[in-house]
Amino acid sequence: MKRLISALVITICLIPHVAFAQKSRPRATLNNVVVTRLEQAIPQLMTEADIPGLSIALIRDSKVIWTRGFGVTNSETKARVNDNTVFEAASLTKPVFAYAVLKLVDNGKLDLDTPLVKYLRGRYDVGDDPRLDQMTARHVLSHTTGFPNWRPRGDKTLKMYFTPGDRFSYSGEGFVYLSKVVEQITGESQEAFIKRTVLDPLDMTSSDVVWRNDYESLKTFTHDWVGGVSGRGKPDKPNAAASLQTTANDYAKFVIAILKGTGLKPATARLMLTPQASVTLAGAFSLNAPDAKRSPAVSWGLGWGLEKTEDRMAFWHWGDNPGYKSFALALRGSRSGVVAMTNGDGGRSVTQYQATQDEFLTTALADGPCSGLGTYTWSRNGSVLTFSVVSDPCPLRVAIFSSQPWALQ
């Protein structure tokens, strides 16, 4: 599933950019030919990757232009995925929390560069490591804290591996620490804070960071590597790094808010998508790779991964909880994007990967002024997968930084 879903979300993200380029067409629509191709290709990719259910939303001109559910919420009951099916967003929670934190910055309640110990007294779980005194919200949101992704299960002490700001290394622990700071600043529970600052203003009515009773009929079940039902999480405590439950359509509303800068001061909205830290080619988790080569194109903003070329900028994030894999990506220039959520760990279907990829790209790009495109390449440099269309009039390059949930090895 890791390889196939990586290919799927990249490919689908290209369609809004290429298929709607003709000015004579309505800009916020998806033509029937492309819909047919997607409806044929997505189930095929799901079958090859052993993914029981998938929900997708496409964005164009900062509007949701197409949503669709595929497969089942439960491989035993065969209940169908639809637009109202709720998935675990997993790490797609992080950009949502980052957006909420930036609202605090706009309101003057939090400074990105003030040490967090100024807001939350004590040593948290770090102990006497003096480097905690340097950690700021900017470090947390750009994954430069020096914390591991997660501490070993059962450990009460949280180890710091490097001085905050030294380099990038992806960390969920940092977001949990910052959430404690936010609760101290606001006097609110984390779920109330997220609901007030993000979910309610953006009309994300199907979303929450804790379990809701209506999820009993709406939330999909998890599935193992061969598609068997493996359970369903019912989180009773919020986790700023991982506990958002949502639909593809709801999350697309959030992505659109980022594209439009809704809810933030213009300078803050720009800052969220401004590189704060270079990502190394060693991958997302670089605690023990201080000298790893840094990617020339892939970086991290405040909550989002970023990929910048000469004429385009993409922001993106993945989600990886047991039994749930998700992905969101958007292009600022064309104000287009994709959100895809699945309910299976997936299989390692590799043998048909290249054939499926080539066939799907050929048909998906054969539309508009780019019809007949046959010149495109895929390349991988460390943990960065790059797709390039190299012929005029439609040059396009999109890269995905692939860490643990989207490994390309």
Q: Which residue has the higher pLDDT, 135 or 27?
A: 135
Residue 252: helix, strand or coil by DSSP? Answer: helix
> Do residues 13 and 25 lie in contact, with contact meaning Cβ atoms separated by under 8 Å?
no
What stretches of 237-392 adopt beta strand conformation (E)? Answer: 245-246, 277-280, 294-300, 305-308, 313-321, 324-331, 336-342, 376-381, 384-389
Pull the structure tokens for residue 260: 């439009």
The predicted-structure confidence for 88-145, as pLDDT tens digits, reads as follows 999 999 999 999 999 999 999 999 999 999 999 999 999 999 999 999 999 999 999 9
CA angle 40, 41, 43 (to 5 degrees): 80
Q: Is the pLDDT of residue 27 over 50?
A: no
Q: Which residues pair with 300 in a beta bridge?
A: 277, 305
Q: How far apart are CA 263 and CA 143, in angstroms?
A: 23
Nearest to 319 by CA among 311, 308, 327: 327
Q: Which residue has the higher pLDDT, 38 or 19?
A: 38
Q: How far apart are CA 79 and CA 340, in angstroms?
A: 19
What pLDDT score does 403 carry?
33
User: What would the DSSP string read from start to end of 241-283?
Assistant: TT--EE-HHHHHHHHHHHHHTTTS-HHHHHHHTS--EEEETT-
Q: Is the pLDDT of residue 399 over 70?
A: no
Q: How far is CA 56 from the centre of its chain?
A: 13
Pull the structure tokens for residue 111: 């400074």
Would you kindly state where each structural domain of the chain is located, as residue ranges? 2-98+192-406
> Do residues 136 and 151 lie in contact, with contact meaning Cβ atoms separated by under 8 Å?
no
Q: Which residues pair with 307 in a beta bridge?
A: 298, 314
Quickly tell me which residue has 């979303």 as its tokens. 207
Residue 61: helix, strand or coil by DSSP? Answer: coil
Confidence label for 346 from pLDDT (cuts 50, 70 and 90)? low
User: What would the DSSP string read from start to end of 44-113?
Assistant: HHHHHHT--EEEEEEEETTEEEEEEEEEBS-TTT-PBP-TT-BEE-GGGHHHHHHHHHHHHHHTTS--TT
Residue 361: helix, strand or coil by DSSP? Answer: helix
> Do residues 346 and 322 lie in contact, with contact meaning Cβ atoms separated by under 8 Å?
no
The predicted-structure confidence for 303-318, as pLDDT tens digits, reads as follows 999 988 777 789 999 9
Nearest to 99 by CA among 406, 369, 315, 363: 315
Q: What is the pTM of this model?
A: 0.82
Backbone angles phi, psi at 18, to 5 degrees: -90, -45
What pLDDT score does 88 carry?
96
The Cβ of residue 208 has, within 10 Å, a number of other Cβ atoms equal to: 21
Quickly tell me which residue has 């460390």 as its tokens. 382
Residue 338: helix, strand or coil by DSSP? Answer: strand
What stretches of 166-293 adopt beta strand conformation (E)? Answer: 222-223, 229-231, 245-246, 277-280
Q: Does CATH number 3.40.50.300 belong to domain 2-98+192-406?
A: no
The predicted-structure confidence for 139-177, as pLDDT tens digits, reads as follows 999 999 999 999 998 899 999 999 999 999 999 999 999
Half-sphere exposure of 270 (CA within 13 A, CB side): 3
Work out the mean pLDDT of the chain and round it to a whole number: 80
Backbone angles phi, psi at 263, to 5 degrees: 85, -5
